[in-house]
Amino acid sequence: MLSLVGNDPDNLSQIASMLSNKDDMHLVWPEARYSFDTDQWRERPTAHPDNRSFLVAQETPHGTNIVGHAALMGTEVLQTFAVSYLYLDTELRGKGLGRQLMGILEAQARGIQDIKALRLRGRTYNPRAIHVYETAGFSKASQDGILISMCKELT
């Protein structure tokens, strides 16, 4: 069972330890500098007041583990937030948890006052993520080269 834990914007240490792998870093944020650049992350994922950063917690019989990260970011479009910086620990992937994460993230988003839509961006070289987004009800809005923009109305 996964849950979201509000992430202190000033505390990037857990995200940094998750993204110690260069390939993962590239999947999560292709423009991110490697190794983890705290100043760059401080400028972007948590800086805007509308942005919400979450750690993903997993309950196990032995306690609660932090196993990932996700964010809901304000956009230039009114009442529209972007799902971003999605990450699950390598050994947990491919077991349906990404799908579960999208569900709890959407539930979290629905709690934002007057929110109307979610959007996100994926890349053609990451078909697993695109598939998870489609399964979560996102549709392709446009494509520019490898960059696929997807959206979901929250009716």
Residues that bind ligand COA (CB under 6 A): 24, 27-28, 86-88, 93-99, 122, 126-129, 131-132, 135
How far apart are CB 54 and ligand COA at their closest, in Å? 13
Question: What is residue 113's DSSP assignment?
Answer: T
DSSP 44-93: TTTTSTT-EEEEEEEEETTEEEEEEEEEEEE-SSTTEEEEEEEEE-GGGT
Quick one: 98 or 114, whose CB is closer to ligand COA?
A: 98
How far apart are CB 60 and ligand COA at their closest, in Å? 16
Quick one: 12 or 97, whose CB is closer to ligand COA?
A: 97
Nearest residue to ligand COA on Cβ basis: 98
How far apart are CB 100 and ligand COA at their closest, in Å? 7
Is 86 within 8 Å of 93 (Cβ atoms)? no
How far apart are CB 10 and ligand COA at their closest, in Å? 23
How far apart are CB 47 and ligand COA at their closest, in Å? 20
Quick one: 48 or 99, whose CB is closer to ligand COA?
A: 99
Quick one: 118 or 155, whose CB is closer to ligand COA?
A: 118
Distance in angstroms (rounded) separating the CA atoms of residues 131 and 96: 12
**Which positions ≥6 away from 132 have C-beta within 8 Å?**
98, 99, 102
**Encoded amino acid at 40, one letter:** Q
**110 DSSP β-pair partners:** none
Quick one: 45 or 122, whose CB is closer to ligand COA?
A: 122
Is 84 within 8 Å of 71 (Cβ atoms)? yes
